[in-house]
């Protein structure tokens, strides 16, 4: 009887913990939805000098002249932790994206989103708004995988980019089909399938697609896009969700891989960031965005002279460049 009672207590504790976690996640989701709605309705405003977002009820019909006894309604400052971006220079920021990767690039006020992560995009869109981003100039589907582009359809719905660049991969899942359908619905979005070497200017930054070197791989992840960003004399390499096999193809194609900073493929998984790539890139800074980055990859990068930062330890990570120097903003 005592054993049965203990077992029953343990089950009830597990149930309570599970219920609490579910409620917390639901509250966070509701909060994100309310925040997105507030931004769409114009309740969230950005400081013209700093770009810091704040929540204001000024000018809202029915509330402006509403008198509440002994109650003031000042602007509520929103948390600025790690999210603000500068309108000058280059900012490259890794965002939280569930199981996938997503990177925000801001160059002289022009914006580009690389990847969309997993999920439906509410969290991703909320982060973009916290960054002070009200529009996108370009969006890039780095992969066709659900875990890598799940948040993009909502992002391009709320912030339609001028250009959507995507890989016409062999696999076209639900997220991929939603993305293409949404791009077709929105007038003004130009959809492009980039080839290796295609480049364009984002402010004063030159964005170049360095991969894939070819398509129709056995491992379809290697069909994914990889991007090089040059700003002045500084450079950042953002690897798509490709494996070591795809990385070796890029090296064989003799594309320029030497860069100051590297955002590792597959979040820093052992399946990528091979020794040959590390040698070819020779980065001074390396970012690993995955939830469980491989220690072997971290050691490999450290031995090559890179300062290694992980999302597990640092959360949202930000690279900033003035065209002459590049550094991690902590």
Is the pLDDT confidence value at 231 over 80? yes
Is the pLDDT confidence value at 114 over 80? yes
281 is a domain residue: yes
133-157 pLDDT per residue, tens: 988 999 999 998 888 999 999 999 9
10 is a domain residue: yes
What's the pLDDT score for residue 120?
83
Q: How many domains does the chain have?
A: 2
**Half-sphere CA count of 49, side-chain side, radius 13 A:** 0
Is there a contact between 264 and 286 (Cβ–Cβ < 8 Å)? yes
Please report, for the domain that includes residue 181, its CATH number.
3.60.15.10
Residues 6-23 as b/e (b if ≥16 CB within 10 A, e otherwise) read eeeeeeeeeeeeeeeeee
Integer Cα distance of 186 and 167 in angstroms? 19
Is there a contact between 278 and 251 (Cβ–Cβ < 8 Å)? no
270-317 pLDDT per residue, tens: 999 999 999 999 999 999 999 889 999 999 999 999 999 999 898 899
Domain check: are 180 and 308 in the same one? yes
Integer Cα distance of 104 and 151 in angstroms? 13
* C-beta atoms surrounding 104 within 10 Å: 24
Both tokens of 26, joined, read 């639901």
Domain check: are 163 and 286 in the same one? yes
Sheet of 163-166, strand order: 190-192, 163-166, 138-141, 110-114, 103-107, 90-94, 317-321, 326-329
């Amino acid at each position: 009887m005592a054993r049965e009672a203990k077992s029953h207590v343990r089950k009830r504790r597990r149930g309570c913990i599970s219920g609490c976690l579910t409620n917390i996640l639901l509250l966070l989701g509701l909060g994100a939805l309310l925040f997105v709605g507030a931004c769409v309705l114009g309740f969230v405003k950005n400081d013209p000098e700093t770009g810091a977002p704040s929540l204001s009820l000024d000018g809202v019909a029915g509330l402006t002249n509403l008198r509440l006894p002994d109650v003031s309604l000042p602007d509520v400052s929103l948390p600025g932790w790690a999210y603000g971006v500068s309108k000058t220079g280059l900012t490259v920021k890794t965002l939280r994206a569930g199981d996938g990767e997503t990177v925000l690039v801001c160059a002289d006020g022009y914006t580009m989103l690389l990847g969309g992560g997993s999920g439906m995009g509410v969290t991703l869109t909320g982060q973009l708004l916290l960054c002070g981003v009200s529009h996108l100039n370009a969006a890039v589907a780095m992969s066709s995988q659900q875990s890598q582009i799940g948040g993009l359809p909502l992002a391009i719905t709320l912030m339609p980019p001028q250009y959507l660049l995507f890989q016409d991969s062999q696999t076209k899942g639900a997220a991929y089909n939603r993305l293409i359908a949404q791009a077709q619905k929105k007038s003004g979005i130009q959809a492009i399938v980039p080839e290796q070497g295609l480049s364009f200017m984002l402010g004063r930054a030159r964005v170049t697609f360095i991969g894939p070197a070819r398509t129709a791989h056995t491992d379809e992840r290697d069909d994914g896009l990889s991007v090089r960003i040059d700003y002045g004399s500084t450079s950042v390499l953002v690897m798509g969700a490709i494996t070591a096999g795809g990385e070796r193809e890029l090296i064989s194609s003799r594309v320029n891989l030497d860069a100051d900073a590297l955002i590792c493929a597959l979040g820093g998984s052992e399946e990528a960031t091979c020794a040959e790539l590390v040698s070819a890139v020779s980065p001074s800074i390396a970012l690993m965005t995955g939830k469980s980055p491989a220690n072997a990859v971290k050691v490999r990068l450290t031995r090559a002279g890179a300062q290694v930062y992980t999302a597990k330890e640092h959360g949202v990570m930000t690279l900033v460049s003035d065209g002459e120097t590049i550094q991690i903003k902590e």
